[in-house]
Amino acid sequence: MTLIKMEKDGHVALAKIDHPPANALSSKLIEEVDQLLTEVENDQDVRVVVLYGEGRFFSAGADIKEFTTVGSGEAFTTLSSKGQQVFERLENFPKPVIASIHGAALGGGLELAMACHIRLVTKSAKLGLPELQLGLIPGFAGTQRLPRLVGVAKAAEIMLTSDSISGEEAVQWGLANHAYSDEELSSETLQLAKKISLKSPIAVKHALKMLTFSKDQYFYEGVEAEAKSFGEVFVSNDAKEGIQAFIEKRQPTFTGK
């Protein structure tokens, strides 16, 4: 089953995440993001990519049930590193990628969106990193990209409380570019994508390349440290309790072990 379906509208590639019921960010979906990037990079007709979700959500987070099949902290570190590599490729992609977010972009879903160049949201959308609620931490560079976008204090609040913020708040906090009504999002996204597609592809490519130099010099060190912490946290009793509680739809009881 293909989890990302693409069609083209002029020079715009419309890539739809179709992984019901919540467009969970599974390993297969991450692989297909990588494949999508290869496909559109080699397609000279595509100048802008729009990434959006089918159904009620952009992506409500990682596939938690998949976590139960990962046997060790080292394997979890490898899983984290793979996601980081794909999202790093996305952030450094030579063609603009716009995340069009409705419903929810949570956990890995928000980490995916943060790796895109532009984020457009509905006013009612919910964005957050609830991993600590599971006894985990964000593992796809969310701990690094979020503070770069909203500042350390706001990033700490979002991660430590596990609370989500609305699309309107996301714009105010610098996490999203613009917020629209549910009815406006698709048309406004396409309008922006087509506007960008009229620009010189070579100029756009170089402009995006220059933006990568704005990264803090410690970003890559932070991403590597995040992957290691991701694996270490995964083998804790708290993580096992948090994941089990999520599956059983109950409040977790953490002991700090």
Catalytic site positions: 111, 131
Nearest CA to 84 among 146, 140, 28? 140
- Max distance between CA atoms of the chain, in angstroms, equals 56
Contact 94, 212 (CB under 8 A): no
Count of all residues that appear for the chain in the document: 257
Q: Give, in degrees to the nearest 5, the angle at Cα 13 between 8 and 15.
A: 105
**Under 8 Å CB-to-CB from 212, ≥6 apart: which residues?**
91, 92
String of DSSP letters for 218-241? THHHHHHHHHHHHHHHHTSHHHHH
Q: Judging by beta carbons within 10 Å of its beta carbon (0-12, 13-18, 19+), is residue 44 exposed, middle or buried?
A: exposed
Nearest CA to 116 among 182, 197, 48? 48
Alpha-carbon span 210 to 193, nearest angstrom: 20
**Under 8 Å CB-to-CB from 22, ≥6 apart: which residues?**
55, 56, 57, 59, 60, 61, 104
